[in-house]
Copies of this chain bind each other. A is one copy, B any other.
Amino acid sequence: MDADPKPTRRPHGPGPTAKDVARLAGVSQSTVSRILNGDRSHFFSEKTRSRVLRIASDLGYSPNPIARALRGKHLNLIGVIVREISDPFFAALISEITVQARELGFLVVLGHAHSDPDEALEMSSIFDTRHTDGAVILGDLKNDQAAIKKILAGKRAVVAMCRGVSSAEVTTINSDNRAGIEALLGLLLRYGHRRIAFIDGGWLGDIQERKNRFIEVLEENGIQLEPDWVVTEANTAEGGYRAAQRLLACPSRPTAILASDDLMAIGALKGLQDGGVRVPEEVSLAGFDGLELTRFVSPALTTVRQPVEEMSRTALQLLIDQIEGRSTNEHRLICLKPELISRASTGPSPGFLRLQC
């Protein structure tokens, strides 16, 4: 028991309560509550109304959200379990979600899963039923269906984001990873590339989705997949760097590299440059996500921008629908179109211009 040294009369600080307002205004607590909540089913004399309002504001009174939540109202707290906050894409997404949530009157509780399903699970149990009104799962948890199921169990409202299509258990908002890859590969193909490598961050759902679509599109274009040219490393700049090194060590090199995300692409760019390879003259390189940062490496990275604002808006909308009991029970899978951003890191395949002339 962590007994406080001085057990204050008011456990939660010196804030005025509805009772204080009531006493000073010479009305009952219920009147205060009703007036401050703008209860439309009751009417009050303008006199009481304004007095209560004035006294409340003089006192700096605001209802204790905890008591309110206990009473059955929403806490207006959304829990966001994020796979990895240090990933700039997630940072941007969180940023957007936080802002939008606040506009909708919700506070965001952030939980950092560190890519670890156990940690996410633990986090989730803290965010448990009664602590938050709903949860957003950002990124996936090693795609462990069991973990997801446990997390879902007992939650009133959940949406997931950026997990690929694999998760049918829960309403999910993704960017359209397949379309993104198609756009990127389309660009590379138009530049005459046929020897295209893919570097990816491993088990993550959306990453897998991108990789799968990459392989499909190559096939659809009658391009033989070179197994050595699909390399998996951690989805970090460091991972991208190592992936590039591995590609450079191949006996036969690709003329273009598609990275499963921008961070890896940034690392790969460095890896290529350290290996003495000129981008895009010798090797074209593209990423995925649309990080601001991709504009500031040299050469600027071609990428695909995930529609972060729209994704956030949709996710919150759907989540709040659930929280407020307005949603149907079916799990929806929403894919929002990303936008191709073609920049200096991609160019014609080395033999391509010659052929054209």
Contacts and interface: CB of A to CB of B under 8 A. Distances in A.
A154 B59 CA distance: 12
B99 A112 contact: yes
Interface residues of A, number: 77
A63 to B, nearest CB: 9
A127 B154 CA distance: 26
Nearest to A267: B296
Interface of chain A, helix or strand or loop or mixed?
loop
Interface in A113-130: 114, 123, 125-130
A249 interface: no
B64 A130 contact: yes
A41 B273 CA distance: 67
Interface in A1-47: 1-2, 4-7, 11-15, 37-41
Given A66-B69, A296-B267, A298-B298, A85 B98 contact: yes
A104 interface: no
A292 B324 contact: no
Given A86-B92, A293-B237, A109 B112 contact: no
A71 interface: yes
Contacts of A295: 237-238, 270
Contacts of A126: 107
A110 B130 contact: no
Contacts of A304: none
B154 A15 contact: yes
A67 B64 contact: no
A11 B114 CA distance: 32
Contacts of A270: 295-298, 300
A325 interface: yes
A62 interface: yes
Contact of A123 (B91, B102, B128): B102
A181 interface: no
A296 B67 contact: no
A296 B266 contact: yes
Interface in A68-85: 69-75, 77, 84-85
A108 interface: yes
A130 B88 contact: no
A11 to B, nearest CB: 3
Contacts of A70: 64, 66-67, 70
A65 interface: yes
CB-CB nearest 4 A-B residue pairs: A11-B72, A12-B130, A13-B129, A110-B110
